[in-house]
Amino acid sequence: MKSCLKSALSLAASASLVAATISSPVQAAIPAPPPELAPIPVSILVDIGSGQVLVQRRSNVPFLPASVTKVMTAFVAFEEIDAGRLSLDRRMPVRPETAKEWFAKGTSMYLTEKDQPTVRDLLHGVMTASSNDGAVVLAEGYAGSVAAWADMMNAAARRIGMTGSRYHTPNGWMDDGQTYITASDMVKLADAMITRHPQLYHEFSGVKRYMWRDVAMRSHDPTVGVVPGADGIKTGYTREAGYNFLGTAERGGRRLVMMLAASPKPKVRDDAAKALLEWGFSAWEARHLFDQGQPVSQAKVQGGDARSVPLVANREVHATLPKGGHEKVALAVHYKGPLVAPIRKGDQVGELEIKVEGLAPGRVPLYAGKDVGVAGPLDRLMNGLISFFA
């Protein structure tokens, strides 16, 4: 079946093509979500390998993130580190004004103006212990000011398609609602953090304990070490926001990402988080479609030294079905074509839409599988001859 899918999708010749259909007479009932989820006002669970939303409630309604804001602060730092503009060993100064304002304010690293923590220290403080002062020191030390860092946060949000979120602080401290996010946006952020910066993600997410000087910093993550495969990401709480959690787990080649928000109590949030991940793995199963990096389709290219470019996914791709079900699965490749050269390998240029009967479709990003340069005179001549005889 996998080879049939590959053959069907390789025939892609337009910007939007329904590429393959798999059918079976057996259809399973859509699994009911766990009862622990009922008290949570905002929730979403997504299978990243298919892009399919398994359950959601108010997923596009903005809410106050509290310390979940710090996930974007970490992501911006990851972007700068992997771009070579920031080192994990770089030491950051602590401004006297910052030490005075943020010392022991909420969760803290207890930074003073005498300290010069490394970026590595600050990221552990931000991600493991939810350090408010650590987030501000990182922001000011790199960007020069909180406002400049917030601009970087919002620019990063736009790059990865977060359309319903806005950042005003690096740490999520109350700011009269100027910082807000949506659950569906946070899934995009988690996906980008994990796929774009896997090494940094695993170094700083899911750590239960980190020592800064004589301060033992502990994580409040309710799933790491409890739910098999759970490896992060971040909790958050203020009186205004309630209890929030952006969580994820990987098991058997499947990665699930969830966002829970505005829970009235920490136990309600924690019980829902554990139950939702277990439900996502036990009540649903994956039907393999493509390996990571395997060509899914070909996209036409205009003005290039090649007439087409392979489209690949940066993850293993599957369809997510109710356990024991054999629903019909339809695939479609979407891109705005023809693509115009030059194209760099790794550029996101399209999406694979996965439609499972009875469920909302999922979308997985597709990337250029190779470089395509601008056509030279000989390339243009050959392409013209090929087009003429075609």
> Token pair of 41, please?
């006002």
| pLDDT at site 385 | 44
Confidence of residue 387 (pLDDT cuts 50, 70, 90): low
Q: Is the dihedral of CA 50, 55, 61, 63 positive or negative?
A: negative
How does pLDDT run across 329-347, given as a tens digit for each residue?
A: 999 999 998 999 999 999 9
With bands split at pLDDT 50, 70 and 90, how would you rate the model's confidence at 46?
very high
- What would the pLDDT profile of 8-23 be if each residue is shown by its tens digit? 333 233 333 434 444 4
User: How do residues 209-228 score in pLDDT, each as one tens digit?
Assistant: 999 988 888 999 999 999 99
Say whether pLDDT at 257 is over 60. Answer: yes
150-203 residue pLDDT tens: 999 999 999 999 999 999 999 999 999 999 999 999 999 999 999 999 999 999
pLDDT band at 3 (very low <50, low <70, confident <90, very high): very low
pLDDT for res 15? 37
pLDDT attached to residue 195: 97
Q: Mean pLDDT throughout 49-58?
A: 98
Interatomic CA distance for residues 121 and 136, integer angstroms? 13
Distance (Å, whole) CA 334 – CA 17: 7
Beta-ladder partners of 263: 243
Tell me what pLDDT residue 376 has. 67
In 3D, which of 123, 127, 116 has the Cα closest to residue 88? 123
What value does the mean pLDDT of the chain take?
91
Cis amide leading into 338 (omega within 30): yes
Q: Give mean pLDDT, residues 277-303.
A: 97
For residue 383, pLDDT beyond 70: no
Reported confidence tier of residue 262, pLDDT bands at 50, 70, 90: very high
pLDDT at residue 378, as a whole number: 52
Residue 129 has pLDDT above 70, yes or no: yes
Tokens 């987030």 correspond to what residue? 135
Report residue 382's pLDDT band, with 50, 70 and 90 as the boundaries: low
Residue 215's pLDDT is what? 82
Out of 47-61, 204-218, 282-296, pick the least confident: 204-218
Among residues of the chain, what percentage have pLDDT more than 70? Answer: 89
Query: Which long-range contacts does 157-166 make (Cβ < 8 Å, 24+ apart)?
Result: 157/72, 157/185, 157/189, 160/188, 160/189, 160/192, 161/188, 162/188, 162/189, 164/60, 164/62, 165/62
Residue 3: C-alpha distances to residues 9, 89, 308, 362, 380 (Å): 10, 47, 21, 21, 33
Dihedral of the alpha carbons of 41, 277, 352, 75, in degrees to the nearest 10: 80
Tens digit of pLDDT for each residue in 307-331? 999 999 999 999 999 999 888 999 9
Positive or negative, the Cα torsion across 33, 34, 35, 37?
Answer: negative
Whether 390 shows a pLDDT value over 70: the answer reads no
Residue 17 has a pLDDT of: 40
φ, ψ of residue 85 to 5 degrees: the values are -95, -10
Percent of the chain with pLDDT over 90: 85
Mean pLDDT score, 229-253: 97
- What is the three-class DSSP state of 46? strand
Q: Mind listing the pLDDT tens digit for each residue in 78-113? A: 999 999 999 999 999 999 999 999 999 999 999 999
